[in-house]
Each structure stands twice: as structure tokens, then as C-alpha cells.
Structure 1
């Protein structure tokens, strides 16, 4: 189908309505004229009409004077009078048709002109959109000032550009960070192999040391890939498991007990007797990750306290520690993939930088919420809200 502009479509549709209306009014006008001037006089043909019978009142005389006609004063003038009336009627019909065509042409032209003016902002919007690509997503549409649907469309398009720009930037940063994290263990393995090759006569201990480094780097690669798969996994999982919070936290406490013993950290569990509904494996990973971080970044002789608050339709779980805390400017970004509060500190303690991103993703899949409060060198509090049983 040939391209038809919006301006032309509006002109055609509105023009059809105008033409139909004009034709209808013309038909009604001609029909009314025929009924008014022709039909009442048809009885004059072939009949003898007296002067008294042909007389009309003053009002009717005034109406006929518009056509410059005279009422017949004798029967001999009947035929001439009828011919004049027919001529006037035909002239009226002809003029009506001419005016109908003139009105149609002028009306359609006016519609085309007005439609073009009304759609002028759409042209500006189209031209602005054509110039936007992945290299100038920061540009915005600023030349649309109309206070109507077109202005609203431009405003919403600017909002969409903002979201796309953020998403595009996020994807670029994510790809760069992922490549960096994957490159680090690979570089470590390659360096170990190169050093081993430089040895003229490497010993068994050299081989063992290199194997240990390779094994650690390989495991780190596996952890990163598994975390990436977990973060990108959108497949449907079951969220119908009944999870006993007390039992889950007791199991996690047993797992982190050796780490707590190294720093003499006390872990307490209060009022966690409720149950929640969700995926047991995913929820376990959420709290295991948070509690492990609370241990890693805690101080010697520190404390970790887990408190459950029963609310109307959810359970609010608070995990507070007395650790090194998080800087205020870092708090908005801690759930971003590969974001590290302190590069040297986090690398020395291990981890891929994806833990909290996975935590947030899992909680969102459970239709829950997570909040963080922290003060540098004082401690951090994670608050998680999940639907209860």
C-alpha cells in the first residue's frame, strides 16, 4: 500500500464528512424549494383559475417578490407565470449545485491547510527523533512546546530516552566490569604458567604451588559465571515453599560459626518463629550472603543480631552488625553488579561483587523489599520484608 501521510488522511476523512454534509444540505434545500414553489402551482395547468382564486395574501406576495415575480392577474397569464416559476426553480437548483462545489473545494483546501499547521509539531518531533542514536542518547527534545497530546508525547519520549540511556550505560558498565572480573583470574593463571616455564628445572613444589593458584582462579571463574547465570536467570521457579525462619537461620549460623570464631563475633537470633512463603533455596542464599558479609566486614569482638518483626501481611527481618560500615555516598550503589565499596578491601576478602545484586534480584522476585542503613565504622543494618505464611 502506498504511503499516505497523516495530514492527507485527516484531510480525506474530514473532507468526506464535509462533502456528505454539503450534499445533504443542498438536497434538502432543493427539495424544500421544489415543495414550496412548484408543487402548489401544478394545479394551475389546464384549469380555469379566476383572479380572485389567484390572489394571495400580503405575506406570500413579499416572498415571491424575492424572485421578482408578479402574481397572475388573469387566466391568460397562468402559463407564463408557471414557466417563470420553473425557470426560477432551475436557476436556484443550478446555483445551489455551483455553491455546493465551491464550498467543497474551499472546505477541503482549508482542511488540508489547517491539518498541516496542526501537525507541524509532529514534523519537528519526527526530525528530532531521527537524529537520536546510541551515540547521543543524552540529547532531549526541547523544541516542542505545545500544551496538548503532542507535547505530552514529546515529554514521555524524553522520559523514555532517560530510561534507555540509563539502561545502556548500565549494560556497558556491566559488560566492562564482567570482563574485568573474568580477566583477573585468567591473568593470574597465565602468569603462573609463564613463571613455571621460565624455571629451568621446576620442582614438584613449584608445580604444586602453580596448581593451587590455578585451582583457586578456576574456582573464582566458576563462582563468577554461576553468579552471572543466577542474576540473568528469568526462568519460572516455584515460590510455594513454606520456610521456617528459625530453622533456616540456625543452619546458616552453624555454617558461619568457624568465621565467627576467628573474630570472636557473637551472633544472636531473636523472635524468629514465623514462617514465610517462597523458594527455599533462593531465600536461603539471600540470608546466607548477607550474614556472611556481616561476618567478613565485622570487627573483632563484634556482634551480629537477627530480629524478626511480625507485621500485618509480611515479616520484616533485620540483620544488624557492628562492622566497618558503608560510606553514605556508596549506599545507593551497593546493589549494582560488580560495585565495590573498597576495591582492595573487598578483593582481599574474596567475592565476585555480585552477591548483593543477586540478593536484590531474588527479593524482587518474591515481591519483597530490602533497605540498608549504615554508618562508617559503626555498623550496617539490612532490613528485608517478605510475605508471610
Structure 2
């Protein structure tokens, strides 16, 4: 029952109980003290002149009060005092509780305003700001709620952008496959070469679809990975360079690595994937005849891995967005350079799973350096 009452009524009832208790106690104490004072007070001496006799002045004393009469008068006064005290107590209770309810209403008005404004916010107006003029706890709560709304708004926008980009990446190869089929259907007598060409295009588009789907699954994977394996950094880098050797030779890129003899704790397959994505990007976005330099350093229990290239570089205003899924720096070359646009997002996800950090420094026309930071202590991975 109490759960259905408003906060103002709950506080009023609580304060009212305190007021009733205090006023009742004070009234009881005052009535008790009044009676006690009269009970111990000496009764004034009565005239010894009998009723109907003469007083010291020689006149008749026909109305001299008796001892019982005086006691009755005192008892009546006591009862009157108690009655008036109880009446005043009831008035003080009623006025006090009414004042508490009124004051609480004023004090809780910002809370009511905040509640009304929050009810009016939905997914379509998350950018709305809640403005509360008070500087107390309610104002602080409104400010914190505005910060939460900003985060939610960014999250919703990122989800919308992600969905749009994912749909675009999936739609492009599907549209290519459909176009090839339509061309074949329009040709009344397609040749074997036409079929072979269409099959090749379909295969390439299918592989691209599979890569996008696989990357999406890896990006959003929540399964528990084993992070207690020992990783030899140089061995991982050598394996990656062997895998990319054909592309490195095609672009005539010089690759060097040094100080990579360190070992650290983590999931070897995930670390391999993260480093592969970064080195592959360093090859794809590098100029012909460019250079790639890989090195690492150990600082106490922290290992830093640096991958630098002499590629096209990234503009400063685009750096904060490069780890977003499907974000492409050079959109004019996004179709010329193979990839799903999820490589760096996967790198960030893997690094965060290892409770590490990834940083990037870049200068357009000079090159880019990615730095990964991991702990060499398995206890840090929890």
C-alpha cells in the first residue's frame, strides 16, 4: 500500500508521526506537571469562623467555602487545563502536518518537474536537455541524466550508422551477383566464357560476403576465450609476414622488425588476428616501394608493440573514427582496396579483451604508427 503513495505523502506521514509523538509527549508531560504541582502545593488555611457565625469584623460568614469545595475547584481547573492542552495539541498537529506537506511540495517540485521531463523522452528525442534551475541534489541528478542521454544518443547513432554501413557492405556484392545473373538472362545465347566470367564474379562477391559475415561474428563474439597462453611476439610476426609475403613483394615494400624477442600472456590466435590486421593495413595503404617498421619494448610488466608505415597517413579529424565498424578513411579508394571495413574495429575489440590499449599517430603524406599496449602479467587479465 505504501509503495503506491507519492514521496511527498510518504515524507509527510513520517514527519507527521514524529510531530504527533512529540506533541503528545509534551502535552502529557505538561498535564502531569500541572497535576503534580497542585498535589504538592499547600492548601490555604480555612477560616475557623463557622458558617453562620461572625468573622473577626463581627459580620456573619454565611458563604465561607469548605475544604472539599476548594479541592473540587482545583480538580475542575486541572481538567480544564488538560482539555485546553489536548485541543491545542490537536491544532498544532494538524497545522504542523499541513505545513510539512506544503513545504515538502515546494521542496520536491524540481523532482516532479524532472520526472515529467524524463517521461517525455524517447528514442526520437534523446538530444533533449533536461533543465532544472535548482543547484541541489536534484539539479546534480538532472546533469547526470543529461550525460547519460548524451551517451545513449551517441550509442543509438552509432547503431544506426553501423546498421546502414553493414547493409551497404552486404548489399554491394549481392547487387553484383544479381547484375551478373540478369546479364546472362538478357543474353539469348550466352557463351561458356560468359558463364565462366559470371561464376568468377559470383565467387568473388560470395567470398566478400563471407568475409564480412565472419568479421561481424568475430567483432561481436562474446564467448569466453583462453587468455593464459604464452605468446612469443617474434614468432607471431614472422608467421604474419610469411602469410603476407606475396602482397609485400608485389608492392616492393621493405619490412624490418627489431626488439621483438619479448613474450607476454594472452590469446595467441586473437593477438595474431590483431597484428595481422594492422600489418595488412600497413601493406595495403602503403605506397609502392614504401617501408614498414615493427618494434617492441618492455617497460616493467607492460609490453608496447609499434607498427609504423610510410603510407598515405590519416587526417587528424578522422583519427577518432577509424576504429568504428565499416569506417573508411579514403572513401574514394574503398572499393579499390579489398576489405570489409571491420579490421581496425576487430583490433580494438581484441585489445580491449586483453585489457590493453591501442593508440595511433599519423601525418598525411608521411605515415601512420599504431601502438598496442599489453600486460605481460597474466594476473592483469583477470
TM-score over 0.5 (shorter chain): yes
**Residue matched to 2:128:** 139
Q: How many residues align?
A: 360
Is 2:291 the partner of 1:290?
A: no
User: Which residue of the partner structure matches residue 303 of structure 1?
Assistant: 291
In structure 1, list runs of 5 or more residues that go unmatched. Answer: 53-74
Give 1:62's aligned residue. none
> Secondary structure of 1:360's partner?
helix
Does residue 8 of structure 1 match 2:9? yes
- The answer to whether structure 1 residue 355 and structure 2 residue 351 are counterparts is no
| Deviations 1:128-148 (CA, angstroms, capped at 9, x unpaired) | 112222221111112x11111
Deviations 1:200-228 (A, max 9, x none): 21111111111111111011111101111
- Aligned alpha-carbon RMSD (Å): 1.8
TM-score calculated relative to the size of structure 1? 0.89
CA-CA distance at 1:235 after TM superposition: 2.0
The reply on whether 1:214 has 2:181 as its aligned counterpart is no
Residue 115 of structure 2 aligns with which residue?
Answer: 126
Structure 1 position 17, deviation (Å): 0.9
Segment of structure 1 superposing worse, 323-332 or 185-194? 323-332
CA distance in 2: counterparts of 1:344 and 1:97, whole angstroms: 89
CA distance in 1, matches of 2:320, 2:335: 20
CA contact (8 A) 1:259 1:295 kept: yes
C-alpha displacement of 1:18: 0.7
User: Equivalents in 1 of 2:215, 2:26: separation in Å?
Assistant: 75
How is 1:53-132 mapped onto 2 (pairs within 5 angstroms)? Answer: 77-132=66-121
Tell me how far apart the structure 1 counterparts of residues 344 and 18 of structure 2 sit (CA, whole Å): 62
In structure 1, how many angstroms separate the alpha carbons of the residues matched to 2:8 and 2:65? 62
**TM-score using structure 2 length:** 0.91
Q: Would the aligned equivalents of 2:322 and 2:329 in 1 still touch at CA under 8 Å?
A: yes
Question: Cα–Cα, structure 1 residues 111 and 267, in superposed 2: closer, same or farther, change >3 Å?
Answer: same
Give the conservation status (yes or no) of the 8 Å contact 2:165–2:326: yes
Could you say what secondary structure the match of 2:335 adopts? helix
Match of 1:188 among 144, 151, 176: 176
Task: Report how far residue 384 of structure 1 moved.
Answer: 0.6
- Work out whether 1:247 is the aligned partner of 2:235: yes
Is the contact made by 1:38 and 1:85 (CA closer than 8 Å) also made in structure 2?
no
CA contact (8 A) 2:247 2:283 kept: yes
Question: Displacement, 1:263?
Answer: 1.6
CA distance in 2, matches of 1:25, 1:196: 101
In 2: Cα distance, 1:384 partner to 1:198 partner: 53
SS across alignment from 1:135:
coil
Number of the residue aligned with 2:333: 345
* CA distance in 1: counterparts of 2:74 and 2:39, whole angstroms: 7
Report the CA distance between 1:38 and its aligned residue.
2.1
- Give SS of 2:135's match: coil
Unmatched tracts of structure 2, length 5 or more: 48-63, 378-382
